[in-house]
């Protein structure tokens, strides 16, 4: 999976590392700003009230 991604990226080693860093940051932003908030709001993990 990661090997396929690595081999697909164009350029030399430095260019590939830079592109991987950009992809990782984009994935993190997607997770932190959209995916994780959606999961936390949907599944309402922590209950603090007396029911």
Residues that bind other proteins (CB under 8 A): 1-3, 28, 31-32, 36-37, 39-41, 44-51
Question: Are 23 and 29 spatial neighbours (Cβ–Cβ below 8 Å)?
Answer: no
The smaller minimum CB distance to other proteins, of residues 8 and 47, is found at 47
User: Alpha-carbon distance 39 to 42, whole Å?
Assistant: 5
Question: Are 42 and 36 spatial neighbours (Cβ–Cβ below 8 Å)?
Answer: no
The smaller minimum CB distance to other proteins, of residues 14 and 24, is found at 24
User: Alpha-carbon distance 49 to 51, whole Å?
Assistant: 6
CB of 26 to other proteins, least distance (A): 14
CB of 32 to other proteins, least distance (A): 6
């Amino acid at each position: 999976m990661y090997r396929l991604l690595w081999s697909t990226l164009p350029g030399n080693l430095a260019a590939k590392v830079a592109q991987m860093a950009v992809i990782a940051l984009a994935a993190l932003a997607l997770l932190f700003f959209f995916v994780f908030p959606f999961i936390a709001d949907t599944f309402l993990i922590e209950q603090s009230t007396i029911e």
